[in-house]
A = this chain, B = another copy of it.
Amino acid sequence: MQLAIVLYDGFTALDAVGPYETLGRLPDAETVFVAEETGPVRTDTGALALTADRTLAEVPHPDVVLVPGGPGQSELMTHAPLLDWLRTADATSTWTTSVCTGSLLLAAAGLLRGRRATSHWLALDMLRDHGAEPTGERVVTDGKYVTAAGVSAGIDMGLTLLGRIAGDEHARAVQLLTEYDPQPPYDAGSPDKAPAHLVERMRARSRFTLTGDPAPSR
């Protein structure tokens, strides 16, 4: 079994590393980080690079496809080399998955048409614009398509899918190994829990950041 995690300039690191650390601990499976070219791929902050060990062309038929999100996604919504690869990989995948705005790339490839899916809370409207049916759930499964909400939701998605593939016992063991017993010091992790003024401020900014335009200064 092969899990391919797609990297591109400006992805968000935790989107990829959360599921890598959970779902990537499938028994007897290979996890491979792929990108258009091999080598270091910079994250959205610029402060970190993850290595793509294989090109997209070298990994045409992974069993599980995982697409992280991040500001760089907005540059790729009509980028044929990636969208063509997603369609080809999806044609033979067992599971096609995303975290955060990675679902917008799946949708841009035409894979989520009419399907229930999710994304970063700021991107749910754009997901609808691309033919999906957005929901507010943290992890959404529709057939073989599993999409997660923003950034950290990929950890929950990874554990959920790990349980589906390898069984609850194995998933619990990975949860214990990674000591995933979250205790956030605040309770502001979703738009219905965070202070309203923070939600409004981010919505105002998101018109810029999610479309790739320069963000207004803070």
Residues of A within 8 A of B (CB): 12-14, 17-18, 20-21, 24-25, 27, 30-33, 40, 45, 47-51, 53, 100, 120-121, 138-139, 149-153, 155-156, 159-160, 163, 168-169, 171-173, 175-186, 188-191, 193-195, 198-199, 201-202, 218
Instruction: Report copies per complex.
Output: 2
Q: Chain A interface secondary structure, helix, strand, loop or mixed?
A: mixed
- Per the bound structure, the CA–CA distance linking A173 and B193 in Å amounts to 12
- Inside 8 A of A218's CB, which chain B residues have their CB? 27
Beyond A14-B18, A20-B47, is A183–B150 a contact (Cβ under 8 Å)? no
- Inside 8 A of A163's CB, which chain B residues have their CB? 185-186
- Per the bound structure, the CA–CA distance linking A152 and B150 in Å amounts to 16
- Per the bound structure, the CA–CA distance linking A121 and B180 in Å amounts to 11
Is there an interface contact between A185 and B202, defined as CB atoms closer than 8 Å?
no
The residue of chain B having its C-beta at the shortest distance from the C-beta of A157 within the complex is B185
Is there an interface contact between A47 and B30, defined as CB atoms closer than 8 Å?
yes
Is there an interface contact between A172 and B152, defined as CB atoms closer than 8 Å?
no
Is there an interface contact between A198 and B176, defined as CB atoms closer than 8 Å?
yes
Is there an interface contact between A33 and B47, defined as CB atoms closer than 8 Å?
yes
Is there an interface contact between A182 and B48, defined as CB atoms closer than 8 Å?
no
Q: List 16 interface pairs A-B (beta carbons < 8 Å), by A numbering.
A: A14-B20, A17-B17, A31-B47, A40-B40, A120-B179, A151-B179, A152-B179, A155-B184, A156-B183, A173-B202, A175-B194, A176-B190, A176-B202, A179-B189, A181-B190, A182-B182
Beyond A47-B32, A49-B50, A49-B51, is A176–B191 a contact (Cβ under 8 Å)? yes
